[in-house]
Structure 1
Amino acid sequence: MAGVTISQGVRANLISLQQTANLMSETQNRLATGKKVNSALDNPNSFFTAASLNDRANDLSTLLDDMGQAVQTLKAADEGIKSITTLVEAAKAKANQAAQTSSTTDRAKFASEYNDLLTQIEGIANDSGYKGKNLLAGDSLVVTFNEKTGTDKNTMSISGVSYGDASSGLSLSEAADWTADDDGDTAIETTLTSLTSALTTLRNQASTFGTNLTVVENRQNFTKNMINTLQEGGDKLVNADSNEEGAKLLALQTRQSLASTALSLASQAEQNVLRLF
């Protein structure tokens, strides 16, 4: 079968129409997906660079969740210390009340109340855990700040304390001999000294946990900003400008209309030759 021959004018306009159609398809795809780079075929460098940036952002997002849980664990411990401090202050008040009376009955009453407060101190310490991690019951906490491994890995270790046993963690012992004599006075004075030391220990530990919390929250905010930076950078490499693509589509539609008109005019020229016969 013989091939169909078309004139140079018709062929030129046909090629223009085909190119315009391809460009329109590409522009419409960008508008539909919102991206100017949808695969490595579009732009290998931008595609793989954006993928790398988004992969790191995803890794950091996972760590961000862990940091958030670490913050909650520290806050739980901090709340526990605040409550324990209040109870130790109350226990100190009981010891002072006992020191100011010579009644054996009153001293025995204050001693019983003091011992009850110690029990509550231990109870609060044991109940200050979060998701199975209790910094007031001897557990430690390791917070990871970046996605790297080996020597480049950035972590912070937070050591816990053992306040679940007041006698060992805070050096507080039960009042068993607050009698109305010199021995009782000495025992109460020893207890007051231990309570003052316990308050100092609690305040120092609260300061330590507060510093740890500040560090973790700061890294949490930094990581959030870093994730946004990575995602924004990746988007700039692959995302399309909808305004620009819309303007291109409008221009291509105009070009397509003009090319169709030109093709029609070129065909009419050939038809005029046919009329001569």
Structure 2
Amino acid sequence: MLTGALSLGYANIALFYKKNDNLYADNLMHIGSGKKVNSPQDNIPDYFYAKKINSENRGYSHIRQELGEASILMQVASEAGETVFNALDRMRVLVKMYYDPNSDSDEQNAIKAEFDSLKGQVDFTVANAAYDGRKLIEDNGSGALDSVNIDPYDINVKYDISFTGDDVADVSTLTLGSGNKEDDSNAVQAELNKAGSYLAKVSAYSQGLRSQSNIISKKMTVNSSVEERLVETDTGAEIAKAVDRDIRSQSSLAMMAQANVMRGSIMRLFGM
């Protein structure tokens, strides 16, 4: 009976040692990997919620990259728009100078030459301003110059960038020297207004893209913080647990060794 009790005690100590040793190994794995949740076995709800958050952040990262590309596109569009606007603004001034009573014929010829040169510059910029194969200054009709998905769960939620005919300057009919100052001036002003509308839209789109990017960055930061709390290891706590379980393992080994000695002594005592 005594040896049976010792055997049962030994078995219980061995079971405790095995369980504690497994927990000790888990602590070492958590410390080594930096994660307390490595698989569903560690914590099913936290594991799958962390996976969902991680997947969402990958989607947001892709969206932020596309927003960055769209922002670069708007920077190029802004430069082209400013070129057109500045040229038309100068053309507006030239109309006034041309019809100034103090301007002689030589001055008028020089003014008209500059006017025509600026007209060619605007024509060239409108026709050739492009980014990644997309023409920047044109009426997009019912389509969009660019369209960025801003929701990783719904591809239909998009940030669209588009322009209309009211935003695209057309200098093909502009003339200087028609003899009617008001007509020439009004015609230039109408195209200048279009160029201004284009620049205003570019600025608004750029601000919108920055706002969307900031919102997504904040969302990703929150997600990362939540994911970290779910799966990241508290190194100090894990080390404390590991030390405690190591001590318990060593104690269990000592107790099993002592139980073996006692069982051997009893068996020798009874001649078993």
Q: TM class by shorter-chain length?
A: 0.7 to 0.9
After superposition, residues 145-156 of structure 1 pair within 5 angstroms as: 145-149=150-154, 153-156=156-159
Aligned position for 1:128: 129
Q: Which amino acid in structure 2 is aligned with residue 71 of structure 1? A: S
Alignment partner of 2:223: what SS?
helix
Moved more, 55-64 or 129-138: 129-138
Aligned position for 1:160: 163
Aligned position for 1:43: 43
Partners of 2:262 and 2:206 in 1: CA distance: 83
Partners of 2:187 and 2:199 in 1: CA distance: 18
Aligned position for 1:181: none
Aligned position for 1:144: 149
Alignment partner of 2:45: what SS?
helix
Aligned position for 1:117: 118
Q: Which amino acid in structure 1 is aligned with residue 130 of structure 2? A: G
Alignment partner of 1:142: what SS?
strand
In the TM superposition, residue 127 of structure 1 has moved relative to its aligned partner by 4.2
After superposition, residues 173-252 of structure 1 pair within 5 angstroms as: 173-175=173-175, 178=177, 184-186=178-180, 188-252=181-245
In the TM superposition, residue 24 of structure 1 has moved relative to its aligned partner by 1.1
Residues 163 and 198 in structure 2, CA contact (< 8 A), matched pair in contact too = no
Partners of 1:242 and 1:198 in 2: CA distance: 66
Alignment partner of 2:131: what SS?
coil
Report how many aligned residue pairs link the two structures. 262
Partners of 2:114 and 2:263 in 1: CA distance: 113
RMSD value, Cα: 2.7
Q: TM-score, normalised by structure 1?
A: 0.83
In the TM superposition, residue 95 of structure 1 has moved relative to its aligned partner by 2.1
In the TM superposition, residue 209 of structure 1 has moved relative to its aligned partner by 2.2
In the TM superposition, residue 126 of structure 1 has moved relative to its aligned partner by 3.6
Partners of 1:31 and 1:122 in 2: CA distance: 66
Structure 1: gaps (5+ residues): 179-183
Pick from 239, 247, 272: which aligns with 2:265? 272
